[in-house]
Structure 1
Amino acid sequence: MQEKYKRSENEIMQNWSSKEPILTIICITYNHKDFITRAIEGFLEQETNFAFEIFIHDDCSDDGTKEIIESYATKYPNIIKAFYEEENQYKKGANGRYFFGELSKMARKYIALCEGDDYWNDSKKLQLQVDFLENNPKFVITYHSCSIIDCNDNIVDFSINDWAKFDYRDGKGYDMQRLHLCLPLRCVVYRNVIDFLEPNLMQYAKKIKNADTFLWILLGEYGDVKYIKEIKPAFYRIHIGGVWSMVDEKEKHKMHTNSFYNMAEYFSIKGDVNLASYFLSLSMYYLSCASSVDKMQYSDFTRIPKSILGHKSVYGGGYIHILTSWCYFSATLQVFEKYKRAA
């Protein structure tokens, strides 16, 4: 059993230069009673010279998670703010609201993310990430490495995970916009710069299944990304109740198809033809994977750019010219070749 309340509220706040938070930790949780204590303790272990706050959003848990959150919110009233849903929002398709809804609107200058079944393993994490962002205004997001564990905290064999192949490195905004970097959600701290009042943003954010991916893409417009190798890995947990880790491959392909199609539609309305065509091509790729990946031939798939080139699609009541180049499509072909090798 994870030890609770290891530090008092006064001990956490004693080195803060101001009582006004500059960073918000957003934690989304659902039926994580066996894991949520470790996640919260990881937040409270953070040693910083700045004030931070913790938003914990419980998506209508019915296993005792809510009661654990309530006990922490009572013990740390100046740090923890709890939000409880009366109906499960994820099951209603409201995934995007976690990243683009009221919690982010209320958040401070910086945002850190961690779900209730994952946890941090470095008490200096937030200080290092915020220090870098404070001193490097051209960067919009920082991240660090991540390890995968099971429900008993055992390290999972990396040979069966794509995460073992992560290319941890710095990147440009362009890299995030085209998914050349994969950022582990529980490892990021980013500037709270997205304009939530932008027309159409929430309309599409609510539809997108892979909302964290959409978040990285949007942040790419505002700056570059920094990998901080000095921070110890956070832990991403695979377990039977995991929202993403337990989804089968075909369903993941369907979710990607949905997400990339809505991203294409969003960017087409914004007038960004390059990103619209790029994500439309990715959507078509994952649609093919979901429908008949075992029958799909590489030669069939290479014809997709020709079918898109010069194609007119109706988005938001207006026509736009979708132009997909081989340059933008190369990333998709690399993914396909990787899939073939793994099959």
Structure 2
Amino acid sequence: MTGKKKCSSDLDVPLVSVVCLAYNHAKFVRQALDSILGQKTTFRYEIIVQDDASTDGTQDIIKEYAVRNPGIVVPVFHERNLYSTGVGQLALACKHAKGEYIAICECDDWWLDDAKLERQVDYLSKNPECSLCFTNAVKYDQDSGKFQNNMLPAFNIEKKILKKERIELPDFDRLNFIPTASMVFRRCDYEKRPVLTKSAFQGDRFLQVYLLTCGYAHYIDEVCSVWRVGNPESVTAKWNADLERRKTSVARFKEMYIELGQFFDGRYDAVFEKRIAHYDIELLYLENKQRELRNPYYLRLKRKEGLRPFLKYLYFAYKPQKAEKR
């Protein structure tokens, strides 16, 4: 990784492109855009707001912000909903990006720290081998209107990983969740990503894992953004809406790692094969296949997650099944 070239950037264009994805976010989009416009930076940045054919007035609000902030807020409107056809929204939005760096803030989330961009871009510019800079975030429950727990660390095992200056792929892939609204990365790295089939997941996790093949990740231990839960239009809410959707999403995550492994000719198989096994375990959970969960390889993998998760796993795998009524 030594001597990694700096991505080219024109002085006349923004240094950072903040990509915001919207769909029926009329209730939230003002808060998201205000938090981004409130960033205090020593450089120019643009805000690309892509709306996927909202029906609740979101586009009108975006137009209002574009008029008030010319050259900063760049609206992109779809005439029909493309997410429902399987088209990746982030890739479409990033085609409009001009900045050397890309930051993400979906329009139902928002940023808390007005120095977020400055701090992250400063680190990336001084450390060309770093391909992803991320921060902590706090969960906000839309139904109760209350802030909940911080997103990181989710488990004790993550504490040690997050303290590292350089988080390499094997450790990074053990992290349960990275707040999407906390991410900043280089556009030139993003543009070299592989194209996977439609059966593979190509969202946040794909992007994060791919970026860790370009360099290392750096974590800033500050709560800089908010992850809103309880929004029925969010991708996560739709995935969890029913069992079949959850099974389909897990299968797509598994396929993502399989295809990445093929793309890199087995270079990262030591990492990817373990993750594929974890998705196999999750599918067995969802299908209630207890006997298969007793596979010795799966047991060894779960044991490494810590005592409490392992005991929970053992309970599910070996608990007595209720006899079926005849």
TM range (shorter): 0.7 to 0.9
**% identical aligned pairs:** 22
Q: Give how far 1:134 is off.
A: 0.9
Root-mean-square deviation over aligned CA pairs: 3.1
Q: Give how far 1:342 is off.
A: 9.5
Q: Give how far 1:162 is off.
A: 8.5
Rounded to whole Å, the distance in 2 between the matches of 1:285 and 1:332 is 13
Query: Which residue identity does 1:72 align to in structure 2?
Result: Y
Rounded to whole Å, the distance in 2 between the matches of 1:37 and 1:76 is 13
Q: How does 1:26-105 map to 2 (within 5 A)?
A: 26-94=19-87, 97-101=88-92, 103-104=94-95
Query: Which residue identity does 2:43 align to in structure 1?
Result: F
Alignment equivalent of 1:202, drawn from 192, 195, 204: 195
Q: Give how far 1:302 is off.
A: 2.7
Task: Return 5+ residue gaps in structure 1 as ranges.
Answer: 1-17, 306-325
* C-alpha contact 1:100 1:202 (8 A) present in aligned 2: no
Q: Give how far 1:112 is off.
A: 0.5
Q: Give the match's secondary structure for 2:139.
A: strand
Check if 1:244 corresponds to 2:236. yes
Alignment equivalent of 2:117, drawn from 126, 140, 143: 126
Rounded to whole Å, the distance in 1 between the matches of 2:249 and 2:14 is 36
* C-alpha contact 1:194 1:218 (8 A) present in aligned 2: no
Indicate the residue corresponding to 1:289 in structure 2.
285
Indicate the residue corresponding to 2:137 in structure 1.
146
Deviations 1:200-255 (A, max 9, x none): x2233x443361001111100111111112x4431111123322146428433431
Rounded to whole Å, the distance in 1 between the matches of 2:42 and 2:175 is 34
Q: Give how far 1:80 is off.
A: 1.1
Change in Cα spacing, 1:32 to 1:332, as seen in structure 2 (3 Å) is farther
Query: Which residue identity does 1:222 align to in structure 2?
Result: C
TM-score (norm 1): 0.74
Deviations 1:261-295 (A, max 9, x none): 23212322431261553443233223212222xx4
Q: Give how far 1:256 is off.
A: 2.1
Change in Cα spacing, 1:78 to 1:91, as seen in structure 2 (3 Å) is same
Q: How does 1:315-334 map to 2 (within 5 A)?
A: 330=301, 334=305
Bigger mean CA deviation after superposition, 171-180 or 109-118: 171-180
Rounded to whole Å, the distance in 1 between the matches of 2:85 and 2:302 is 32
Check if 1:264 corresponds to 2:258. yes
Q: Give how far 1:109 is off.
A: 1.1
Check if 1:337 corresponds to 2:310. yes
Rounded to whole Å, the distance in 2 between the matches of 1:121 and 1:207 is 35
Check if 1:109 corresponds to 2:100. yes
* C-alpha contact 1:19 1:51 (8 A) present in aligned 2: no
Indicate the residue corresponding to 1:7 in structure 2.
none
Give the number of equivalent residue pairs. 294
Task: Return 5+ residue gaps in structure 2 as ranges.
Answer: 1-10, 317-326
Deviations 1:59-87 (A, max 9, x none): 11000111100111111121111111122
Rounded to whole Å, the distance in 1 between the matches of 2:228 and 2:314 is 26
Bigger mean CA deviation after superposition, 188-197 or 60-69: 188-197
Rounded to whole Å, the distance in 1 between the matches of 2:225 and 2:99 is 22
Indicate the residue corresponding to 1:317 in structure 2.
none
* C-alpha contact 1:264 1:279 (8 A) present in aligned 2: no
Q: Give the match's secondary structure for 1:144.
A: strand
Change in Cα spacing, 1:257 to 1:196, as seen in structure 2 (3 Å) is same
Change in Cα spacing, 1:286 to 1:117, as seen in structure 2 (3 Å) is same
* C-alpha contact 1:105 1:196 (8 A) present in aligned 2: no
Rounded to whole Å, the distance in 2 between the matches of 1:341 and 1:68 is 51
Check if 1:233 corresponds to 2:224. yes
